[in-house]
A and B are shown apart, each in its own frame.
Chain A
């Protein structure tokens, strides 16, 4: 009846007979882990039954786009079920002096920019880095959110994990690094944590802390294979801008919500790759190894490697490679090899070693799954800038705006959990100049498709009425159907003095304040600087003026909007 040899079978039965229930469960998970994917897996346990040995923990999150926060909240709820009270706090609210007093401290933190912590976590991050103090009591764990497509995957989380240990903290659970589709990994990590807390494993904690971090490898995010169906420049002749409306269809149903962004990894243009191939006398077809991938030299340069604008850390490595001192500044690879040539062309192999993958770029989704099923729309501004008197285009915006119809394109969905529509009957105010208008096209299309009853008010702005009124006819139709209640526009360069959205907000301050006072949510999307800051200043002023409040009260009012998640930003 059994496929085990008698000898094995008896040993097995002996092992089982002597085991406690907990041990049996553990073994069970261990085995299933082995079976699922050759690697050793931590056990997932039904926690409700276990009696908690710890009853108070702190969950501190550092978030940019709300994912870490969302997890923190769900975790707290789970903990409560398990009889553990969890204090949930954002790292920018966290009182740093409390840290030494902490006993059970768990940090959920994402990585942004180029391997940096979210702005909100900065204070905490820097604090633990100037290790002038010790954390004897601290027992901790870190859940790192990130995106494997970035050169520096989850580095912020890694840093926090390492620093807390340096400061004397005791890691009671290995760090879990999550890709963009983080839910599953995050859940199993927390389940394990709860298990640890409710019934400390037989093996003592020190052992765990020291133990090699054996952990199931991350669920990699879903990559969609789409193809371009429309790619039109929305700006009219004579405009200084070039903003493309891009429609993409995908083979399988795209899972996203209004407010989410689309992630895409651009390719380098042949015009940049070819000269490098020439200059280094590269054999295009020779294959190389790069981060667990085998690719031809040409494909690597075209599709994989960031050669467009190298970060300083790569430039530094290059300096070592060629044994010259090179000023620590961003620079393109072509310029680099021209000015500081490789010792010899055989160094190309080593060069690949130090190069990083092309980072993805994000674009707010301008469509709604309800209104544009099977499609995802983007509003992409072709980024144009001067480098010593020569016009250049940004890598990805250039790549996207130049894609002809029917081109295949891979992308993924970046969830933005804190830029969501409120309930259908709630009013929304949207501040979206330039490409910042993209998510609001999604919002209005979605609300129309779902028959939402709340009022909506859009503030749009750009340079010129005639050439730069993005989606003008669509807004006009939505005004007629009532899907959009009100549209206020600011065209900065149509008159002698510049007029921006914030000026229009002030002009309509009375009404805007009334909307907010009666429960409307305020959304801001677009350029972080200077737009979003100017808008915030104006917001304060108009609340002060039209709500006749003191500056402090105005600030409070805004703070409250934040707490109630009625003041939401998606700025870049």
Chain B
């Protein structure tokens, strides 16, 4: 057993020799002859919440001009549960304006990214964030990422309580190094390094990125089972009893390599007290730290360690490390993954308005001054802000007496019409960033999805299906950043203008989809959809979802690609819907 694999990957070497993630970042920053950073720092800077990228649209032209690639940083905020105060929003708005492309990009993990931050602007950006006690630490890299939590407070009376778990886990799993403060915020070096002792991450951190989400049923907006660790709140008559704990979820696959596959997390038990939950989560990380694959990064995610060692081994090893045995999982039900658009009132009579933001891109266009509108709202100080995992935004915690004021602004900037008028399919769709900044993109995603949807909408109307919430997700490559393998219809880029089409995922996130056809161009996609939707319209049994219909109709259960069912069925409670 144990780590039955070869020599350490180069990333492992870099991490361990990085003097707690410092590397040569300071020198990289000082080098003003290039917008890039030194090779080893590329891996390290991620732990600080940044990726070095370049504008892929501009490569050829700049090469012609004898200019290097247009390097810039993508910077990701750490916002457990996706929460921002109005004051923090204002600060983020200004930082984005002063130092980035200006577009505020809501991610599929409940936070935001700024793109196009030049090297000389990185420090001002991070200092700007810091002024509003915002941080980017550990939002990327081989470490625990932003912790997700079902976003909408109306979901449950215990939402606030569950949200506290997200924050507690977030804090529990932060790295101990002081590098972030030294390098970016110019705080002076600590004398005694032992304060940097990191019992969890040591000097090797995790073998790979690590993701945790908490869902409050019946909403699965967080796509809880696509995470390394999924916590499913168990609530009985408005009382939080504890959490079902699932491990080994993850999306990314590799074209033409069955070794890499998407996997839904397997529910392995239930824990009641906060202490037990945190302890369990913590030890799952230590086990993955010790047993995860550190030689082949493509096999380093928890999901592969889970499959390699087996669930029983995991449960036993957990007992060894936590000192207690988890209870059997409690039954749970999900009914959707969508957001509740428009105004909603919670149990405390506070109001929450969910704004539809296509692919999470907050900017001002001729049609819609979205960015300005939200800034106006933030100026009133009458609300908080919560990002959703569907790349949308909730203007949150608006007191009844303030609702009118906020509503006025939303009306004035026609945010309300914009949200109302968007078609159902568009409102539920997601696309990842892909071009022009993502270095791994094989095809367009967020820049293309809107156009594709405009061509799909008429087809839905043609078959009178415009009122079906069919979940469509697109990515520019098989890494799965918009969780396309957990969609009813997934489009996964294979080459420029070409997408694999996957169908048959369920609507609530308990069953992955499967390959239907490979490398389709737009015409082929539209043609396939027209046929499939036509057949679906006629043959569907009462309110059967498209995903379920497709699963039996075209994939007749035959997994063309390993899915959750092949691993987790035994302990997955039947979906009561």
Q: Is the C-beta of B67 less than 8 angstroms from some C-beta in chain A?
A: yes
Q: Is the C-beta of A96 less than 8 angstroms from some C-beta in chain B?
A: no
Selected interface stretch from A152-160, A279-287, A464-472: A464-472
B67 touches A494 (CB 8 A): no
Over the window 449-467 of chain A, the binary record of Cβ atoms lying under 8 Å from chain B Cβ atoms (1 yes, 0 no) is 0000000000000000110
Interface centre among B65, B118, B120 (most CB of A within 10 A): B65
Q: Which secondary structure dominates chain A's binding surface?
A: mixed
Q: Is the C-beta of B33 less than 8 angstroms from some C-beta in chain A?
A: yes
B65 touches A479 (CB 8 A): no
Chain A residues lying within 8 Å of B35, measured Cβ to Cβ, are 465-466
Selected interface stretch from A76-84, A231-239, A421-429: A231-239
Q: Check A472/B66 contact, CB under 8 A, given A465-B32, A479-B33, A487-B33.
A: yes
Q: Is the C-beta of B68 less than 8 angstroms from some C-beta in chain A?
A: yes
CB distance from A385 to the nearest CB of B (A): 24
Q: Check A473/B33 contact, CB under 8 A, given A465-B120, A466-B118.
A: no
What separation, in Å, do the CA atoms of A241 and B435 have in the docked complex? Answer: 28
What separation, in Å, do the CA atoms of A263 and B551 have in the docked complex? Answer: 76
What separation, in Å, do the CA atoms of A551 and B487 have in the docked complex? Answer: 76
CB distance from B6 to the nearest CB of A (A): 32
Chain A residues lying within 8 Å of B120, measured Cβ to Cβ, are 465, 494-495
What separation, in Å, do the CA atoms of A471 and B61 have in the docked complex? Answer: 14
Chain B residues lying within 8 Å of A474, measured Cβ to Cβ, are 66
B65 touches A489 (CB 8 A): no
> Can you name 11 A-B residue pairings with CB atoms under 8 Å?
A233-B65, A234-B66, A235-B65, A236-B58, A236-B70, A245-B66, A472-B67, A473-B68, A479-B33, A489-B33, A495-B120
What separation, in Å, do the CA atoms of A470 and B62 have in the docked complex? Answer: 11
Q: Is the C-beta of A476 less than 8 angstroms from some C-beta in chain B?
A: yes
Q: Check A471/B62 contact, CB under 8 A, given A465-B32, A476-B34.
A: no
Q: Is the C-beta of A475 less than 8 angstroms from some C-beta in chain B?
A: yes
Over the window 257-296 of chain B, the binary record of Cβ atoms lying under 8 Å from chain A Cβ atoms (1 yes, 0 no) is 0000000000000000000000000000000000000000
Q: Check A475/B33 contact, CB under 8 A, given A235-B65, A236-B65.
A: yes
Chain B residues lying within 8 Å of A495, measured Cβ to Cβ, are 120
CB distance from B128 to the nearest CB of A (A): 15
What separation, in Å, do the CA atoms of A487 and B32 have in the docked complex? Answer: 9
A473 touches B32 (CB 8 A): no
Chain A residues lying within 8 Å of B67, measured Cβ to Cβ, are 234, 236, 469, 472-473
Chain B residues lying within 8 Å of A232, measured Cβ to Cβ, are 64-65
What separation, in Å, do the CA atoms of A392 and B70 have in the docked complex? Answer: 31
Ranked 7 nearest A-B pairs via Cβ: A473-B66, A472-B67, A471-B66, A234-B65, A487-B33, A472-B68, A473-B68
From the candidates A233, A236, A465, A471, name the one contacting B118 in the complex (CB within 8 A): A465
What separation, in Å, do the CA atoms of A234 and B62 have in the docked complex? Answer: 9
Chain B residues lying within 8 Å of A489, measured Cβ to Cβ, are 32-33
Interface size class of B (residues with CB under 8 A): 10 to 19
- 5 more contacts with CB within 8 A, not counting A235-B65, A236-B61, A236-B67, are A233-B65, A469-B67, A472-B67, A473-B68, A479-B33
What separation, in Å, do the CA atoms of A469 and B71 have in the docked complex? Answer: 14
Chain A residues lying within 8 Å of B68, measured Cβ to Cβ, are 469, 472-473, 476
From the candidates B32, B33, B34, B62, name the one contacting A236 in the complex (CB within 8 A): B62
CB distance from B121 to the nearest CB of A (A): 9
Chain A residues lying within 8 Å of B32, measured Cβ to Cβ, are 465, 489
What separation, in Å, do the CA atoms of A253 and B61 have in the docked complex? Answer: 32
What separation, in Å, do the CA atoms of A338 and B165 have in the docked complex? Answer: 82
What separation, in Å, do the CA atoms of A474 and B32 have in the docked complex? Answer: 15
From the candidates A234, A235, A466, A476, name the one contacting B33 in the complex (CB within 8 A): A476
What separation, in Å, do the CA atoms of A474 and B67 have in the docked complex? Answer: 9
Chain B residues lying within 8 Å of A234, measured Cβ to Cβ, are 65-67
Within 8 A of B (CB), among A512-562: none
Within 8 A of B (CB), among A201-260: 232-236, 245
Over the window 84-117 of chain A, the binary record of Cβ atoms lying under 8 Å from chain B Cβ atoms (1 yes, 0 no) is 0000000000000000000000000000000000
CB distance from A478 to the nearest CB of B (A): 11
What separation, in Å, do the CA atoms of A475 and B120 have in the docked complex? Answer: 20
A466 touches B66 (CB 8 A): no
What separation, in Å, do the CA atoms of A471 and B66 have in the docked complex? Answer: 5
Closest A residue, CB atoms, query B64: A232
Chain B residues lying within 8 Å of A479, measured Cβ to Cβ, are 33
Interface centre among B32, B67, B70 (most CB of A within 10 A): B67
Chain B residues lying within 8 Å of A470, measured Cβ to Cβ, are 66
Closest A residue, CB atoms, query B36: A476
Closest B residue, CB atoms, query A460: B33
Over the window 10-47 of chain B, the binary record of Cβ atoms lying under 8 Å from chain A Cβ atoms (1 yes, 0 no) is 00000000000000000000001111000000000000
CB distance from B117 to the nearest CB of A (A): 12
What separation, in Å, do the CA atoms of A208 and B310 have in the docked complex? Answer: 113
Chain B residues lying within 8 Å of A233, measured Cβ to Cβ, are 65
Within 8 A of A (CB), among B57-78: 58, 61-68, 70
CB distance from A326 to the nearest CB of B (A): 45
Interface centre among B64, B66, B68, B70 (most CB of A within 10 A): B66
What separation, in Å, do the CA atoms of A257 and B64 have in the docked complex? Answer: 27
Closest A residue, CB atoms, query B71: A466
Closest B residue, CB atoms, query A243: B65
Closest A residue, CB atoms, query B63: A473
What separation, in Å, do the CA atoms of A495 and B99 have in the docked complex? Answer: 12
Chain B residues lying within 8 Å of A465, measured Cβ to Cβ, are 32, 35, 118, 120
What separation, in Å, do the CA atoms of A466 and B34 have in the docked complex? Answer: 9
What separation, in Å, do the CA atoms of A472 and B64 have in the docked complex? Answer: 11
Closest B residue, CB atoms, query A490: B32
Closest B residue, CB atoms, query A495: B120
CB distance from A444 to the nearest CB of B (A): 14
What separation, in Å, do the CA atoms of A473 and B62 have in the docked complex? Answer: 10
Closest B residue, CB atoms, query A468: B67
Chain B residues lying within 8 Å of A236, measured Cβ to Cβ, are 58, 61-62, 65, 67, 70
Within 8 A of B (CB), among A302-335: none
Chain A residues lying within 8 Å of B118, measured Cβ to Cβ, are 465-466
Chain A residues lying within 8 Å of B58, measured Cβ to Cβ, are 236
CB distance from A382 to the nearest CB of B (A): 15
Closest B residue, CB atoms, query A491: B32
CB distance from B61 to the nearest CB of A (A): 8
What separation, in Å, do the CA atoms of A233 and B61 have in the docked complex? Answer: 10
Interface centre among A473, A474, A479, A489 (most CB of B within 10 A): A473
Chain B residues lying within 8 Å of A469, measured Cβ to Cβ, are 67-68
A466 touches B65 (CB 8 A): no
What separation, in Å, do the CA atoms of A54 and B525 have in the docked complex? Answer: 100
Within 8 A of A (CB), among B509-558: none
CB distance from B53 to the nearest CB of A (A): 14
CB distance from A475 to the nearest CB of B (A): 7
Chain A residues lying within 8 Å of B61, measured Cβ to Cβ, are 236
What separation, in Å, do the CA atoms of A465 and B62 have in the docked complex? Answer: 13
Chain B residues lying within 8 Å of A235, measured Cβ to Cβ, are 65
What separation, in Å, do the CA atoms of A476 and B32 have in the docked complex? Answer: 11
Closest A residue, CB atoms, query B72: A466
Within 8 A of A (CB), among B84-126: 118, 120
Closest B residue, CB atoms, query A473: B66
What separation, in Å, do the CA atoms of A398 and B66 have in the docked complex? Answer: 21
What separation, in Å, do the CA atoms of A234 and B64 have in the docked complex? Answer: 8
Closest A residue, CB atoms, query B70: A466
What separation, in Å, do the CA atoms of A310 and B122 have in the docked complex? Answer: 52
Interface centre among A233, A469, A479 (most CB of B within 10 A): A469
CB distance from B108 to the nearest CB of A (A): 30
Closest A residue, CB atoms, query B119: A465
What separation, in Å, do the CA atoms of A470 and B64 have in the docked complex? Answer: 12
What separation, in Å, do the CA atoms of A236 and B62 have in the docked complex? Answer: 7
CB distance from B94 to the nearest CB of A (A): 16
CB distance from A375 to the nearest CB of B (A): 16
Chain B residues lying within 8 Å of A245, measured Cβ to Cβ, are 66
